[in-house]
Amino acid sequence: MKSAIVILVIIGLGLVGVAYYFSLESFKLIERKQEGDYLNEVILENEMIAEESAREELVYGNTIINQYMDLTKPEYAVINPCMQKFHHTGKLDALCLNEVLDAVVDDFGEDSFIKAVIGSSIDYENLALDHTFLEKLFSERSSLADKLRLGFLNRYRNPDCLQRAFDRYKDNLFGSIPKSLYQKIFEKKLVECLSAYEEIARQTNKEAFFEDIYYKADMRNLHAQYWKYTFWKRRAIEKNDKMLYAILTEIKNHYNDQ
- The distance from CA 232 to its chain's CA centroid, rounded to whole angstroms, is 17
Higher pLDDT, 181 or 38: 181
Rg of the chain taking only CA atoms, in angstroms: 21
First to last CA, the chain: 50
Query: What is the residue extent of each domain of the chain?
Result: 3-155, 179-256
Query: Which one-letter DSSP state was computed for residue 183?
Result: I
- Amino acid 54 reads A
Pairing of β 64-70 and β 3-10? antiparallel
| DSSP bridge partners of 69 | 4
> What pLDDT score was predicted for residue 129?
86
pLDDT category at 127 given cuts 50, 70, 90 is confident
Q: How far apart are CA 136 and CA 131, in angstroms?
A: 10
For residue 1, the tally of other CB atoms under 10 A from its CB is 9
Strand, coil or helix: 155? coil
Q: How far apart are CA 197 and CA 191, in angstroms?
A: 10
Strand, coil or helix: 204? coil
pLDDT, one tens digit per residue, over 68-81 is 566 667 777 788 88
pTM of the model: 0.74
CA distances from 233 to 80, 191, 215 (A): 39, 17, 14
pLDDT, one tens digit per residue, over 38-55 is 555 555 555 555 555 555
> What pLDDT score was predicted for residue 82?
85
- CA angle 157-162-163, nearest 5°? 145
128: phi then psi, degrees, rounded to nearest 5:
-150, 175
**Which is it for the CA torsion 75, 78, 84, 87, positive or negative?**
negative
Q: How far apart are CA 181 and CA 177, in angstroms?
A: 6
pLDDT category at 117 given cuts 50, 70, 90 is confident
